[in-house]
A and B are shown apart, each in its own frame.
Chain A
Amino acid sequence: MVIHVTDITVRQLNVHFDKAHALKDVSMRIEEKKITAIIGPSGCGKSTFIRCINRMNDIIPSAKVTGDVLVDGTNIYDAKVDVTDVRKKIGMVFQKPNPFPKSIFENIAYAPRIHGTKRKEDLSLIVERSLRRAALWDEVKDRMNKSAYDLSGGQQQRLCIARTLAIEPEIILFDEPCSALDPIATAKIEDLLIDLKKDYTVVIVTHNMQQAARVADRTAFFYLGELIEYGSTRDLFEKPEKDLTEQYITGRMG
């Protein structure tokens, strides 16, 4: 039996944007099939960090990344690694819902299609499965050909999650996925996150500490580009080891 490990090991990760040192010597291990939250004040490097895990920083010309990110034991920054394979394995959901200005069906079918699925029946199956998994199917099944922009913000974000699920990733990165949503839509996304960790390794960046406390198994606190403290969510919130962490979670900073 092949044991499939999809944990993430980050070693000595540094990111520079021109002269700004955005991420400093971050090393941490993200566990498989758990939800790991990244918290910290604005500008602490948490988004930069998560965007290193699927190499999204590659598209920013000024970004320079050094260090290792090992997924399944493979360094995704290795020269032999095809970046599109990395991103197929590691999906990402963004801060603001960003569906394509196309139909609901096309939004989901796009990724499987570019990865080689051509038959309409196969695509329809993937689309339905992904939408069901993202708890959106019942709301959209009768209007698959309508524009994704007719959906509400929360529905759009779940559509973006379904779109990511359609590439069958092993890890899903969420970059503040609820920051543009109302509390009800946020609750739905949080329920979904907890459901998704049965099958996927989930990393979520959030500036909402309650959200981290509600959904995450483990939490990492970043400050000024450094990883200050990392541990189980309960420990981090109830008995933080570092003063900085305590100041942040008690609202005296940030």
Chain B
Amino acid sequence: MNRKLKQSIYFGLFRVSGWAVVAAIAVLIGYLLFYGIGAINWEFLTQAPRVGMSKGGIFPQLLGTIYLMALVLIISIPIGILSAVYLVEYQKNKFMKGVWRVVVHNLAGVPSVVYGLLGLGLFVLLLDMGASLIAAGLTLSILVLPIIIASTREALIAIPPSLREASIALGATKWQTVRHHILPYAMPGILTGVILSLSRAAGETAPIILVGAAYYMPGLPDSLFSAFQALPYHIYALATQTRVALTGQSLYGSALVLLMLVVGMNLVAIMLRNKYRKKYRW
């Protein structure tokens, strides 16, 4: 076979693979838009479901998902970023660094339903939080920690050591160096991890079913210790427990809202990232 032909074949393969990814996303979004866009209106976003979920909206579920994301944001993001800073910038023991990296990588690979079991055993039962928003928030926080830690770590080690030396050599303390240089320069990478985590928190279904998401409940959660509803479980419930002939539009509408929530956050992340990249480039 001649070289030019070989090259065309391989280029063809690359091209097909590249477009396959785009096509898969286009089909997914097109499908959801086609079936779901009709459901989305103000009422859908602001009202509770009625008539066996076939009418009304998804407000309690949307609110529950936003609550969960807020809890994850408050709990796991500071812990994740600070622990990554500690282990990259402060921990000197190479062995401990290695152990910690293996632990984080393994945690990232644990199936989410196992985190659900952990949350059920630890938060719901042992610590007696009950099936609640806080139990779910804590469970999801543990679940996304490895993502935040890994991406923060990548961002920190990508900063040239010469910049740390520059600050240290001027008589800055380690903390001043971290505060004024390391963290700001690492921000684009850290934000990427934060957004990925929030998207995970918004989309995870299995763990929250175990620790507090209700299939259906009247009213809204009135405290951190109430049960709640969330979009992913709502989608699951509509798809498996109702007659899709009646609830189909609501089902696709819910999926579309969840998707838009995640895509919207990713857009915000990209904007923030570009802003920081422009500010600090090396």
Contact = CB atoms under 8 A, between A and B. Distances in A.
B218 interface: no
Contacts of B171: 84-88, 111, 114-115, 167
B160 interface: yes
Interface in B17-38: none
Given A96-B162, A110-B180, A114-B180, A87 B168 contact: yes
Nearest to A88: B171
A149 B185 CA distance: 14
A184 B173 CA distance: 36
B165 A114 contact: no
B170 A98 contact: no
Interface string B125-137: 0000000000000
A101 B281 contact: yes
A61 interface: yes
A160 B165 CA distance: 12
A149 B281 contact: yes
A102 B167 CA distance: 13
A178 B280 CA distance: 25
Interface string B68-96: 00000000000000000000000011100
A100 interface: yes
A101 B187 CA distance: 13
A54 B93 CA distance: 23
Contact of A92 (B92, B169, B281): B169
A101 B159 CA distance: 11
Contact of B282 (A87, A101, A115): A101
A100 B180 CA distance: 10
Contact of A94 (B94, B166, B173): B166
Contact of B172 (A92, A114, A160): A114
Contacts of A84: 171-173
B273 interface: no
Interface string A78-98: 000000111110011010101
A100 B279 CA distance: 11
A149 B282 contact: yes
A164 interface: yes
Contacts of A160: 166
A149 B176 CA distance: 22
A113 to B, nearest CB: 9
Interface residues of A, number: 28
B101 interface: no
A218 interface: no
A16 B42 CA distance: 70
A91 B169 CA distance: 7
B168 A98 contact: no
A87 B170 contact: yes
Interface in A87-133: 87-88, 91-92, 94, 96, 98-102, 110-111, 114-115
Contacts of B92: 61
B181 A98 contact: no
Contacts of B185: 101
A186 interface: no
A167 B166 CA distance: 13
B163 interface: yes
Contacts of B169: 54, 56, 87, 91-92, 94, 164
A192 B180 CA distance: 29
B173 A98 contact: no
B55 interface: no
Contacts of B93: 61
Q: Which 6 A-B pairs have the closest CB atoms?
A: A88-B171, A98-B162, A111-B170, A87-B171, A61-B92, A92-B169
Given A56-B169, A84-B171, A101-B163, 12 more contacts: A54-B169, A87-B170, A87-B171, A88-B170, A88-B171, A91-B169, A99-B166, A101-B280, A110-B172, A110-B180, A111-B172, A149-B281
29 contacts: A56-B168, A59-B168, A61-B92, A85-B171, A87-B168, A87-B169, A87-B171, A88-B170, A88-B171, A91-B170, A94-B166, A94-B169, A98-B166, A100-B163, A100-B166, A101-B163, A110-B167, A110-B170, A110-B172, A111-B170, A111-B171, A111-B172, A114-B170, A114-B171, A115-B171, A147-B281, A149-B282, A160-B166, A167-B170
